[in-house]
Amino acid sequence: MKTLILISLLVVTISALPSTRNNRIWNGENATPGQAPYLIGILWYEFATTIQPLNICGGAIVNVWWTITAAHCLINNLTGIGRFEIVVGQHFVSIANRSGREQFRNIAVEFIHPNFAGGASAYDVALMRLDAPLAPFNEFVQPIALQAQSAPPLQSGTVRSFGWGSVTGGPPHVLADELQTVQLPIMSSELCREVLSTILPSNPFSSSCMCTVRFENSGNVCNADSGGPAVANLNGQNVLVGVLAWGTSCTLSGFPTVWSAIGPVRTWIDQTIQANS
């Protein structure tokens, strides 16, 4: 497969209608309310249809003021035809199914990692400072621990991810209304680089990347899950170890999905927050 499929969909989702939503991520399962209290949704409201937003990306809560996502979720400037909003505590995207536990914030300022080159490239990570602090923290809204500074990308085990992305795995993309979750095996960096070199000879894989893989009959993250968390259980604690960057296929087994690992950018995260808080 020679064509790179970006797990972004910032353009395709704009043309999708809220009525096309379904109730399952691609081959995943429904999450339970409060299962991922650290999860954020990046909502996009088209000016022509301001009532029901589209959830175009995910991310995670770092603290009361700060959230993290993929850089490519923010660099596509759509503000001329709509507006963005951050939501936490969300389980359903549709307004009709909201629980009342949601909190909504605007983005006060964005910080794109300085080494991010755009498109499918390394260091696809960004921080967002909110216009007001998140409050209260409760069982549905909580920050998540970040992978330690300079910790290498995980090379084995599994991670769990969450999102409201495509449930169809390919065009036409149908987005989930209810939050979906999937557990993903980690692919070693060595094998991931080898596979990507076969599929994409000029692939942008680097030491800052972490890979997962879909095996036969298992699920996968897909379009509009971008920026969403890869969460590992490390010493009994849920830890954010990656944010979803790009992939080669939602549905083909053996094809890697690439994440921006948190360890290699943790120093930048801490310094950015400290300098701008």
pLDDT in tens, 191-216: 999 999 998 878 789 999 999 998 87
Q: Where are the domains of the chain?
A: 37-143+266-275, 146-263
Amino acid letter, residue 147: Q
Q: State the pLDDT at residue 147.
A: 98
Q: Averaging pLDDT over each range in 8-22, 204-218, 252-266, which range is the top one?
A: 252-266
pLDDT at 78 over 80: no
Task: Tell me which CATH code domain 146-263 carries.
Answer: 2.40.10.10
Q: Which two tokens stand for residue 147?
A: 């992978």
pLDDT in tens, 128-141: 999 999 999 999 99
C-alpha span between 227 and 220 (Å, rounded)? 14
Report the candidate in 191, 161, 165, 160 with the shortest Cα–Cα distance to residue 176. Answer: 165
Distances (CA, A) of 89 to 32, 121, 133, 136: 12, 30, 14, 11
- Name which of 13-22, 116-125, 169-178, 252-261 the model is least confident about: 13-22
C-alpha span between 128 and 108 (Å, rounded)? 7
The answer to whether domain 37-143+266-275 and domain 146-263 are alike in fold is yes
Q: State the pLDDT at residue 203.
A: 79
* DSSP labels, 12-23: HHHH--GGG-BS
pLDDT-derived band at 168, boundaries 50, 70, 90: confident
- Beta strands 237-247 and 145-146 are parallel
C-alpha span between 46 and 164 (Å, rounded)? 18
C-alpha span between 276 and 269 (Å, rounded)? 11
CATH topology of domain 37-143+266-275: Thrombin, subunit H (2.40.10)
* pTM of the predicted protein model: 0.89
pLDDT at 112 over 60: yes
Cis peptide before 201 (omega within 30 of 0): no
